[in-house]
Structure 1
């Protein structure tokens, strides 16, 4: 098993809370990681019909059979069980009693908030990060290969070509997860919506445009976006509202949690196809922002990420808040540095007053430079 950076945080939280809940997309490695960490725990999957039936019909009997040191996989399948588990753990009073995992965050988080507030540590596990693959010696051979391959563990564990993995993954997700949701009716239309979202990576979200192209209402688009966010398929990067006496954009941008999945939706069939693809720059930007997100989540922290854009088009691709300070990043897929990469950072620095140490260009080149205006850093040499 490739070591996961979240592992030590999970262990620590299990020593502090009676419940630890690890959520993330399907097949991001949650079950494998938890079973590796908690080898002496019973493993119960609530996908198993017999276990699920017992948990639903007689939760007290289920708890008597599994009173302590239990991994409950796909815990969102029986949300009514949480209230009984809460009473049981309150009576016993130990930490690390139940480790919960689930891939349907929209169901799991609602019930956890209602039943286990204050008793559960919440953590997210995303597909492999660049640093995890590098440490394991399993990095794809090129940047385009890394974008195209994505980070889902099964691709690396079973050596499955991305062109085989992602179509099957999408079918499983759509047919298995979404058909149970009342707010997703026409699944074929929903897949079209997914592909349209992939074509808008890094762009300002325009719900009306998506609604028109799909032939549905704007509220339906917002509902579908919420489902995709809760399922760890895509996320909305919020705008930074610091205006520095400038009118700023208040519309979020769309990004996918995995670039390999986005490539599949864009019908990209090989890494070589990326070289001339219209979305390459956006996919590179997505890859880099994902690394910031994974770094925070793998430390058990909430990502504090945004972008900044004013109403006349000046834009900073990524703002990261660290220790109360904003750090601004311009992200470029070019392998050669161009002084124009500094234009938006210089504008932002001038109106904000923040020093050059809080500005950087992240690019696909190999040369690191410390300039008067900003630092220039190869994206794969970035340290968090």
Structure 2
């Protein structure tokens, strides 16, 4: 039997079941949604069906209203395979609004699927189940996250030494099968993941016959993870029309394997980059698709993969424990870039990521520029892959990556 680790998003989901008739849980394929739905104790008394079962899928398509008209609270997994169910659920909820009546799950972001999100407007709340973050894997997900404590207190007092994060751990990413099953070489798992993703998810979502151009763009996106999104550059290098690139990226986003990070535009600096950055949803998948066979200090993509790993952890932690916080990046064209800006209310915190175990004085330049341009900034963290947190001057701290993501 596979190990079951409680997910950090659990408390939010269980609480939402007391208020909303429909609770939606989406995320990349194989991030643990089905395991959560079947093994989380608070969900044990619900009827569970999956549309991976062809008989269930056929029944849902034949009579959607009958399919959702059950006496017990219902979990429908892989619900995106039968879009007709969303309208049937809308009708059922409008007839009788019962909190926690339906849990819908799937490997497609329903909020980005216009017809579906409109059907459930005002009736559903949406959660994303990300790959495992470090807190979940360490069994420390009940503690207040470091990033929230630091936001409130701006102190590193009491922090002890921690281990650095091995690059091979970053290259594994956070997919449950990779993290829990002890693969000596996860290459075959990632290869199977890509085939399933292309042959099933993308064909279902986009109804495209030839997945080869899509696969080419997917690999190109992995090579550029953590970069500024340029549709024209991607189109040129993939030899695809802009309209096709936009369509393919939308499918990647709906299937949660790719996401955008918006720029922070709330300070008066000139020449701000207004295009989003983009990340692959998991650093392990990004390494596989970018053909990074081994992540070492000399690997050209080391910085991008470390930043992707930090991003997936921060996004997961914030979504799960601090949903009122937002995450951005900041970039002044040709001069300064800060990797992450965490904002909550009218305050923010700047974070610059360094993949190395040491830092240089110049590494603080962009953090200082952001703080100087942003009066409501609490300070800047230089997150590096070392072991000790230290103060670097007024409003500046160096913090180990392992601490930042704890």
* Greater mean alpha carbon deviation, residues 20-29 or residues 328-337: 328-337
Q: Deviations over 1:205-240 (max 9, x none)?
A: 222121112211112111111111111111121111
Matched, 1:205 2:209: no
Q: Which residue of 1 aligns with 2:151?
A: none
Matched, 1:322 2:326: no
Match of 2:271 among 247, 251, 261: 247
Change (3 A) 1:185 1:215: farther
- Indicate conservation of the 8 Å contact 1:184/1:224, yes or no: no
Q: Which residue of 2 aligns with 1:143?
A: 166
- Cα distance in 2 for partners of 1:330, 1:107 equals 30
Match of 2:252 among 228, 231, 235: 228
Match of 2:285 among 261, 269, 280: 261
Please, what is the CA RMSD of the aligned residues? 2.3
Change (3 A) 1:311 1:337: closer
Q: Which residue of 2 aligns with 1:51?
A: 56
Change (3 A) 1:353 1:87: closer
> What is the SS of the residue equivalent to 1:326?
strand
Q: Deviations over 1:15-71 (max 9, x none)?
A: 11111110001100001111223111111111222212222212233234x333111
Q: Which residue of 1 aligns with 2:10?
A: 7
Q: Deviations over 1:302-355 (max 9, x none)?
A: 661111111332111111112221211111111013222111111222233356
Q: Deviations over 1:286-311 (max 9, x none)?
A: 11122210012213726611111113
* Greater mean alpha carbon deviation, residues 166-175 or residues 282-291: 282-291
Matches within 5 A, 1:323-342: 323-342=345-364
Match of 1:293 among 315, 320, 337: 315
Q: Which residue of 1 aligns with 2:76?
A: 72
Alpha-carbon deviation of 1:77?
A: 1.5
Matched, 1:192 2:196: no
* Greater mean alpha carbon deviation, residues 16-25 or residues 214-223: 214-223
- Cα distance in 2 for partners of 1:142, 1:372 equals 25
Answer 1 or 2: higher relative contact order, Cα 8 Å, separation at least 6: 2
Q: Which residue of 1 aligns with 2:391?
A: 370
> What is the SS of the residue equivalent to 1:43?
strand
- Cα distance in 1 for partners of 2:35, 2:322 equals 19
State the TM-score, normalizing by the size of structure 2. Answer: 0.87
- Indicate conservation of the 8 Å contact 2:61/2:84, yes or no: yes
State the TM-score, normalizing by the size of structure 1. Answer: 0.92
Alpha-carbon deviation of 1:157?
A: 3.3
- Indicate conservation of the 8 Å contact 1:331/1:362, yes or no: yes
Change (3 A) 1:345 1:60: closer
- Cα distance in 2 for partners of 1:318, 1:107 equals 24
- Cα distance in 1 for partners of 2:263, 2:164 equals 34
- Cα distance in 1 for partners of 2:384, 2:200 equals 39
Q: Which residue of 1 aligns with 2:145?
A: none
Change (3 A) 1:93 1:204: closer
Alpha-carbon deviation of 1:91?
A: 3.2
Q: Which runs of 5+ in 1 are unaligned?
A: none
- Cα distance in 2 for partners of 1:303, 1:366 equals 27
- Cα distance in 1 for partners of 2:249, 2:112 equals 17
Q: Which residue of 1 aligns with 2:159?
A: none
- Indicate conservation of the 8 Å contact 2:324/2:344, yes or no: no
- Cα distance in 1 for partners of 2:383, 2:248 equals 32
- Cα distance in 2 for partners of 1:338, 1:141 equals 18
Q: Which residue of 2 aligns with 1:177?
A: 201
- Cα distance in 2 for partners of 1:183, 1:11 equals 35
- Indicate conservation of the 8 Å contact 2:172/2:179, yes or no: no
Change (3 A) 1:303 1:188: farther
> What is the SS of the residue equivalent to 1:212?
helix
